[in-house]
Chain A
């Protein structure tokens, strides 16, 4: 396989409340691939994502991005948030360009780049709308565009589709694959949906319930090139992977 974009080494996290969220987690995220963190609620998958993002410091262990130790957020990583985290007082255009605004890119240049990405995620015509005028799915497209605009090589997505309905979610998953195709992004994707994980991922990291630790790494190996979403969902590799993961996860349910 390709080289590692992100390495997580011996990471453990104990909160001040003495809750142990993660214990001795070691995972490698290959460059240019989409890896899902999958596990039951409360397995610390979001905590792990935020540690990689540099938003939370691990109690022990370290995260290395491109060989360098993570001390905080950095321009090579961009995050898509579960609750979208859009500025409610700013237009879609300003929200999408926000990362560039913070980097001091002049207004015209950043808005031009933002417009391109707004069109890419399918929101052309909504540049001047405000978040409260958009549906949940559209808001998350804004969040996705904002993460893509800054041209980070690593995209971290924290249950990005959990707040949208099932139809929107499927469409969004399909569009996400199209958007990411041939762009060489390394994606770390948190979800609790087995189908979503298998549909999207090159690699799936299964986490145990709290304290979260890596139970197993699955690589579905589904042939995606030139195939429709429905064909992928009927693929034997897809169905086998869903079944295999369910066999593991159901041990933790109930």
Chain B
């Protein structure tokens, strides 16, 4: 749909990546077997109990709750982040009013606000959704704004020459032209969103994977604890790679705009 696939560089070779991963797995196994750190069991045992964790009803429930919070928060962040970013780029006034706040919040440790959120929206799913939203929305706004700002003037002039209305300009020019930056923002957004779910649920401690983490660590169930860590990390990596895959498909035109 976007043209041919770009050439792969050696850094992306799946074989090398697998080999590097294997080395780290061996290191983990060795450290675990040596028993140097009591909280790190060998990888093989983590994997074994991981299978039990993943198939348990408790995990299914926690995963469902967490995924829903993540999906809702991300949907909200995208629905708000992209339009606001476009607006900031197109309107000098809106840009001036919001830019400072977006820049403050994109670098601020938003987790500090979660206890405050609990006080305002209650201890529950809503807090987690809002946390995901706050974690991810600002970077999406920022990258969208950058993307729309760099759209060449001549593309906009061309559209207007050939009779584009306002809607056409946004749908057919600005949005697709800014897509590489928007996707970059989205990738950072989903990574932050996963952090948002986990941190939100950890702080609340009675919901989803946050509750599971609490249970495992309080009961010294380190094999289960590490299994859950691996699962969550793998999920974060998978969603960010999924967006990165989309990014690579538009890479070829990011350079020729």
Query: A-side interface residues toward B, CB under 8 Å?
Result: 50, 53-55, 72-73, 75, 77-79, 81-83, 85, 87-89, 98-99, 101-103, 130-133, 146, 150
Q: Which B residues are in CB contact (< 8 Å) with A99?
A: 162-163
Among B163, B177, B255, B256: residue with most chain A CB under 10 A: B163
Q: Which B residues are in CB contact (< 8 Å) with A82?
A: 154
Task: Select B253's contact among A50, A53, A89, beta carbons within 8 Å.
Answer: A89
Cα distance A193–B168 in the bound complex, in angstroms: 36
**Is the CB of B159 closer than 8 A to any CB of chain A?**
yes
Nearest residue, chain A, Cβ from B176: A89
- Asked whether A85 lies within 8 Å of B164 as measured between CB atoms, the reply is no
Closest 4 CB pairs of A and B: A88-B253, A85-B158, A99-B162, A85-B154
Number of B interface residues at 8 Å Cβ cutoff, please give it. 25
Among B155, B162, B179, B257: residue with most chain A CB under 10 A: B162
Q: Which B residues are in CB contact (< 8 Å) with A89?
A: 2, 176-177, 179, 250, 253
Q: Which A residues are in CB contact (< 8 Å) with B163?
A: 73, 75, 99, 102-103
29 contacts between A and B (CB under 8 A): A53-B161, A55-B157, A55-B160, A55-B161, A73-B160, A73-B161, A73-B162, A73-B163, A77-B161, A79-B157, A81-B154, A81-B158, A83-B152, A85-B157, A85-B158, A87-B155, A87-B176, A87-B177, A88-B257, A89-B2, A89-B176, A99-B162, A101-B172, A102-B168, A103-B163, A130-B3, A130-B253, A132-B255, A150-B162
Per-position 1/0 for B147-184, Cβ under 8 A of A: 00000101101111111100010001100110100000
- Asked whether A133 lies within 8 Å of B3 as measured between CB atoms, the reply is yes
Min CB gap A3→B, angstroms: 24
**Is the CB of B248 closer than 8 A to any CB of chain A?**
no
Q: Which B residues are in CB contact (< 8 Å) with A103?
A: 163
Cα distance A107–B176 in the bound complex, in angstroms: 20
- Asked whether B162 lies within 8 Å of A98 as measured between CB atoms, the reply is yes
**Is the CB of B45 closer than 8 A to any CB of chain A?**
no
**Is the CB of B68 closer than 8 A to any CB of chain A?**
no
Per-position 1/0 for B1-15, Cβ under 8 A of A: 011000000000000
Q: Which A residues are in CB contact (< 8 Å) with B162?
A: 73, 78, 98-99, 102, 146, 150
Among A72, A79, A85, A150: residue with most chain B CB under 10 A: A85
Q: Which B residues are in CB contact (< 8 Å) with A55?
A: 157, 160-161
Q: Which A residues are in CB contact (< 8 Å) with B177?
A: 87-89
Nearest residue, chain B, Cβ from A128: B3
Nearest residue, chain A, Cβ from B255: A132
**Is the CB of B99 closer than 8 A to any CB of chain A?**
no
Q: Which A residues are in CB contact (< 8 Å) with B255?
A: 132
